[in-house]
Structure 1
Amino acid sequence: MKKLLLAAVAFACATTLSIAQEQQPTQENLQVQPMFGGAQKTEEQQQKDEKFLTNCDKSFVNRQEASKFFVERGWEYLNEGQVDTAVYRFNLAWLLNPDNKDTYWAFGLVTSAKGENEKAIEFYEKALAYEPKNSLLLSDIAATYLKVYSEGKKKKRDLKKASSYLSKAVAADSANAFALYSLSRVKFYEKDYTDAWTYLHKGRTVDLTQIDYNYIAELTAQMPDPQGFFRAADAAPATTKE
């Protein structure tokens, strides 16, 4: 019952601001861009924001709780594939609490998914300022640096950044399989195929489901699996038994 009530309250708060934004075509477009596109708001738009905040103040214990609620709704919409609606909820969460690291983290993920990796890194950096030892966050920003490296001009500084963040991620959580797999990729790009296999196997012992078999094929083409777990022919596991 409490969740249903909160959902109704949140809907009322969000609708108040959404209706106002629909009256402002340019702002309606910006509402689905992280941090409302960073655009300077008109006095009328600022007044609408204040009305939204006031409504939330009446409905939630504090703005931190309200912000957390909207972030959770944002993840739900994102998991359903409703990206614009998700970003709008993340924006509302950010408006409620600009110090909520999860909003910047979400902006980073969404922006990276759109291929805007340099911009995504900026959002991740903002999130890291609040929680610099978060293993999952560290591995996400590292993965984005790897994208910049592999899809761009392959600058060594991007690879070094990725490696540095991944080392911190593993130091914070040695069971972070995503970080271990990403470290394998770093070693692959550095042509250190022995260590690439070492980190890959460390990752697959934690979580086999995250393996990218296209990457395995690339790695086996450079060096056969020293443990014989993956076949070179199709990069599939040779056995499921250790």
Structure 2
Amino acid sequence: MKKLLFAAMAVLITATVSFAQEQSALVLPMFGNKPKTEEQQQKDEKFLTSCDKSFTNRQEASAFFMERGWEYYNEGQVDTAMYRFNLAWLLNPNNKDTYWAFGLISSAKGNEQEAISFYEKTLAIDPKNSLLLADIGASYVTLYTEKHKKKNLRKADKYLSESVAADSANAYALYKFAVVKFHTKKYAEAWEYLHKSRSLDLRTIDYTFVADLVEKMPDPMGVFKSSDAAAVTN
């Protein structure tokens, strides 16, 4: 394991040279998805050759860089994470998790339409993944709040329904489903899904949303009060 890590670090140092030189392209999904110059192609080949010498195969190398990418992503270092995800994609364009990662970062940067396009690439390979379906549904919810087009809300409802069907204990999907029900003015159902989500993972709850829901309809279970909502909004 130590030998593998040292070898991987050497590969990263080599790749980081081009990162410093071409940073703007390297922090875009799939390196910006544009034709590369001959020099860039040579750098890619050098990187791939280094990985071939350091790992059992390119799938293993791709998985390694995905892990490093998630570490940076969880630390909030989005651009550095994107670079690692790009390296993982370069090593294995069939790694579905790279497209999922591209979607998450696109969403984090406020580009929901781009995020959805990447999620759909992953969904074509893994159509019953509850977490993925929830992420797509969440992006459509965001698009609806930005543009107020009902088709986005309908798509959010579809994907979140599929997410909950695949995993009824997906707290995030249940919470986003509550948001969809709120926007369709089905407040009783919104409370139902909100409480299901809350019972599984309280961290999924956005209390600003709770305040908005309380204004439309008091909590049937009496857990959230109007005074709580006022405290959140003030």
Secondary structure of the residue that 2:169 maps to in structure 1?
Answer: coil
- Identity over the aligned pairs, expressed in percent? 62
Alpha-carbon distance in 2 for matches of 1:130, 1:206? 28
Q: Does 1:210 align with 2:204?
A: yes
* Correspondent of 1:150 among 145, 160, 166: 145
1:170 — aligned with what?
164
Q: CA RMSD in A?
A: 1.4
Match of 2:32 in 1: 37
Distance 2:124 2:57 in 1: 23
Counterpart residue number, 1:190: 184
**CA distances 1:26-55 after superposition (whole Å, capped 9, x unpaired):** x33201111101121011211211111111
1:128 matched to 2:112? The reply is no
1:126-170 superposed Cα distances (whole Å, 9 cap, x missing partner): 111111111111101110110010022x11110111111111111
Equivalence map 1:3-82=2 (5 Å): 4-22=2-20, 25=21, 27-82=22-77
Aligned mates of 2:198, 2:221 — CA distance in 1: 12
Superposed displacement of residue 120, structure 1: 0.9
TM-score relative to the length of structure 2: 0.94
Deviation at 1:21, TM superposition (A): 4.9
Judging by fraction of residues, say which structure has more helix. 2
State the match for 1:220 in structure 2: 214
* Runs of 4 or more above 6 Å deviation: none
Which amino acid counterpart does residue 15 of structure 1 have in structure 2? Answer: I
Q: Distance in 1 between matches of 2:213 and 2:29?
A: 37
1:88 corresponding residue in structure 2: 83
Q: Deviations over 1:55-77 (max 9, x none)?
A: 11111111111101100000111
Residues 155-194 of structure 1, C-alpha deviations (whole Å, 9 max, x = no match): 1110111111111111111100000001000000000101
- Superposition deviation, residue 232 in structure 1: 1.5
**CA–CA distance in 2 between the matches of 1:212 and 1:197?**
13
Gaps of at least 5 residues in structure 1 are 237-242
Secondary structure of the residue that 1:104 maps to in structure 2? helix
Q: Letter of the aligned partner of 1:8 in structure 2?
A: F
Letter of the 1:104 partner, please give it.
Y
> What residue in structure 1 maps to residue 225 of structure 2?
231
- Normalised to the residue count of structure 1, the TM-score between the two structures is 0.91
CA distance in structure 1 between the aligned counterparts of 2:87 and 2:189, rounded to whole angstroms: 44
Partners of 2:78 and 2:57 lie apart in 1 by 27
Runs (5+) with no aligned partner, structure 2: none
Task: Supply the distance in 1 between the matched residues of 2:182 and 2:35 (Cα, whole angstroms).
Answer: 44
Distance in 1 (alpha carbons) for counterparts of 2:6 and 2:82: 19
Q: Across the two proteins, how many residue pairs are aligned to each other?
A: 230
State the one-letter code of the partner of 1:159.
Answer: L
- For residues 215 and 189 of structure 2, the distance between their equivalents in structure 1, rounded to whole angstroms, comes to 15
